[in-house]
Amino acid sequence: MIKVCNAAVLFIISMLLNGCITAVQSYHSDGLPILSQEELIRPYTKLGRIQVTRETFGSDYSLSPDIKAWGLAALRQQGELMGADAIILPEVTGCTTTYGLIPSAEYRATGFAIKFK
Per-residue pLDDT of the chain (117 residues; tens, 9 = 90+): 455 455 555 455 554 444 433 333 223 346 889 998 888 889 999 999 999 998 887 765 555 568 889 899 999 999 999 999 999 999 999 888 877 778 888 899 999 999 999
**DSSP class of residue 65?**
S
- How much is the pTM? 0.65
Residue 48 Rama label (left phi>0; alpha psi -120 to 50; beta): left
Q: Looking at residue 21, what is its pLDDT?
A: 34
φ/ψ (deg, to 5) at 112? -120, 130
Number of Cβ atoms within 10 Å of the Cβ of 41:
7
Please give the Cα distance from 57 to 102 (Å, whole number). 7
Q: Looking at residue 77, what is its pLDDT?
A: 95
Please give the Cα distance from 22 to 2 (Å, whole number). 30
Q: Looking at residue 18, what is its pLDDT?
A: 45
Q: Is 86 exposed, middle or buried (0-12, 13-18, 19+ CB in 10 A)?
A: buried
Mean pLDDT of the chain: 76
